[in-house]
Chains A and B, each alone.
Chain A
Amino acid sequence: MTTENNKSNIIEISGLNKWYGEFQALKNINLNVKEGEIIVVCGPSGSGKSTLIRCVNFLEKFQEGEVVVDGIQLTDDAQKIRSIRSEVSMVFQHFNLFPHLSIVDNLTLGPIWVHNETKSEAREKALKLLDRVGIRDQAEKYPNQLSGGQQQRVAIARALCTSPKIMLFDEPTSALDPEMISEVLDVMVELAKEGITMICVTHEMGFARKVAQRIIFMDEGQIIEENDPETFFHHPESDRLKLFLDQILTH
């Protein structure tokens, strides 16, 4: 493992099991994430990777196991869930921007209503973040006026606007046209350099190789293999991972 052991765990998942009706989506997941660590989760579709990261901010309920985020154990308690959500931000595959609000209003919503910041302070921060993701000039437009890549960058800025400790990315580039993927990945690479804790579900293996400190391979609801990028790509152990890498890296 390449991470320093002196840092504390910010996410601790143990014995996590989740069912959708009869179907078991997650099987006994154990995973610790250290503060500032960058983790990429990959695997074939339906392997439970999205479900896993959605358990971290409780968008998905689970039936068994423990999830502790920044010292708070997740339960049904709405108050606790909200306090975790105010520290964990999420970027979705389909952006999920609010179409009835301007770009800058999309960003300031969380700071104003959840973090009780004043409008002007939130706006100032929002504009800075938009500047950082390179779309400061689109601030007053509405989401549907932007391209997919721009929308996803807005979504990242929105996620950052609440100054989260942890960022979750749920296949952030899967819904994008090929020529827009890199503009989003560039922003994510920049973020990775800043020491924010990140868990990314993605198929972008180039990105994984470049920034991940640990890559987790999931299949059929379980973690099959986890390793540093070097070992992960060049010395895969399980047959399932070898097959997977074969399929996605041949092109």
Chain B
Amino acid sequence: MAVYEQQELRKPPISQVGIVRWLRVNLFSSRVNIGLTLAALYMLYIIIPPLLNWTIFDANFNFGEFSIFGFEFGEVMATNTNCGRSAACWPFIYEKFDMFIYGFYPRDLVWRVDSVFAMTAMLFVIVRLVRNRKGSAKILLTTFVVFPIVSFYLIAGGVFGLEEVKTHQWGGLTLTLVIASVGILVSFPIGILLALGRQSNLRVISFFSTIYIEFIRAVPLITILFMASFVLPLFFTGGVDFDKLLRALIAITLFQAAYFAEVVRGGLQAIPTGQYEAADAIGLNYVQKNALIVLPQALKISIPNLVGSSISLFKDTTLVLIIGLMDMLAMVNMTANDINWLGRETEGFVFVTMTMWIFLYSMSRYSKKLEVRFSTDHKN
């Protein structure tokens, strides 16, 4: 028999910690890995310096004169010709900024669009402030019903003395956001219903939901957009002028609903039968069972995929330019056709790419946060 003394904790050997270990494990763990690392470094060496030169170091940032506290800065704004061709000409974006954001929306009315942007920002603040408070569900629900309606009338006008702005004047980022948010918000409930429909015990409902989902998913969005744009009006003869944007919105909503349906169905399938049985045994009816027990859990699981699908849709909204809607991407060609700024498409595409990236990356980060917040584990 023996008694052992308690030993002091020692620091791990240097090869097991810090940057050395990280490098060894992640970049130089094997011959193949060493090769890949070197190849990647070489690629970065080729790509990064010219990219930085084009976008920043050799680029023209001459946005014109401005003054701060009476001190004058800058010089006369650069023009297309004195910008040079070998690097970016950012004054182009600066001058056409309003086009990229608002399209042909009347300039004296853009405050209405701006207030919608401001309200959107406030929405996030409200969600933050209200959550976990008593009655938060009611406040959030009202907000999410009222917000889209107010936004719509602010942008479209035609009521409360607001001047009407026809949809063909909507454009740029505004239009992109309108299409994406309407597409996502309207198709979400439809998608849930379709998913429940597909899982339904009633054969007829399940059959038609399945047919719908599988049909839509087997057709490219661009085809559906063409159909909505050119075939739908054929059904509405008699001179009914069917708004072009509305047609696109219907097409996108119907399209996205099918994708959401499949995402939600995946979540539904992850709910153990025990949950259904417990809800049944308590005596909840179909609607209560789904609204209180099944969907809250299924949607939580589906958050990453729902956001993923929404991101796809956001990107796909750029397809509306082929049916003649002037979204943000369409503005690139539009603005670079300006006689004063001919041939500046590259700057436009870079700008649109970066704007898209900011929105989509934020969405993706936000979904990560939601996942953590709604985590059902509640494990300490």
Contact = CB atoms under 8 A, between A and B. Distances in A.
Interface of A: 57, 59, 78, 82-83, 85-86, 88-90, 92, 94, 96-100, 109-110, 113-114, 141-145, 158, 162
Contact of A113 (B292, B377, B379): B292
A82 B378 contact: no
B164 interface: no
Interface in B275-328: 275, 277-285, 288, 292-293, 296-297, 300
A214 B168 CA distance: 79
Given A109-B282, A144-B378, A145-B379, A100 B277 contact: no
B280 A85 contact: yes
24 contacts: A59-B280, A83-B283, A85-B280, A85-B281, A85-B283, A88-B281, A96-B275, A96-B278, A98-B275, A98-B293, A99-B378, A100-B297, A109-B282, A109-B292, A114-B282, A114-B283, A142-B376, A142-B378, A143-B378, A144-B377, A144-B378, A145-B378, A145-B380, A158-B282
A86 B283 contact: yes
A89 B288 CA distance: 17
B135 interface: no
A188 B380 CA distance: 30
Contacts of B272: 96
B277 A96 contact: yes
B49 interface: no
B132 to A, nearest CB: 13
Contacts of A89: 281-282
Interface of B: 272, 274-275, 277-285, 288, 292-293, 296-297, 300, 376-380
A97 B282 CA distance: 11
B274 A85 contact: no
Given A109-B292, A113-B288, A145-B379, A98 B281 contact: no
Given A99-B297, A114-B284, 20 more contacts: A57-B280, A85-B281, A88-B281, A90-B277, A90-B278, A90-B281, A92-B277, A97-B278, A98-B275, A98-B279, A100-B300, A109-B282, A114-B288, A142-B376, A142-B378, A144-B376, A144-B378, A144-B379, A145-B380, A162-B282
Given A144-B377, A145-B379, A82 B283 contact: yes
A79 B44 CA distance: 68
B194 to A, nearest CB: 23
A110 B283 contact: yes
A88 B284 CA distance: 13
Contacts of B280: 57, 59, 85
B284 A113 contact: yes
Contacts of B296: 100
Contacts of B275: 96, 98
Nearest to A168: B281
Contacts of A92: 274, 277-278, 281
B107 to A, nearest CB: 49
Q: Enumerate the 8 nearest inter-chain pairs by beta-carbon distance, A residue then B residue, closest first.
A: A142-B378, A96-B278, A85-B283, A96-B274, A90-B281, A110-B282, A114-B283, A86-B283
Most chain A Cβ neighbours within 10 Å, of B272, B278, B279:
B278
A86 B281 CA distance: 8
Contacts of B281: 57, 59, 85, 88-90, 92
A86 B284 CA distance: 9
A89 B378 CA distance: 27
A122 to B, nearest CB: 12
Contacts of A113: 284, 288, 292
Contacts of B377: 144
Nearest to B293: A98
Given A100-B297, A100-B300, A94 B378 contact: no
B67 to A, nearest CB: 57
B277 A59 contact: yes
Contacts of B274: 92, 94, 96
Nearest to A111: B282
Contacts of B283: 82-83, 85-86, 110, 114, 162
Contacts of A86: 283
A165 to B, nearest CB: 13
B129 to A, nearest CB: 22
A162 B376 CA distance: 25
A59 B274 CA distance: 11
Contacts of B292: 109, 113
Contacts of A144: 376-379
A96 B282 CA distance: 11
A110 B280 CA distance: 10
B274 to A, nearest CB: 4
A151 B275 CA distance: 14
Nearest to A85: B283
Nearest to B285: A82
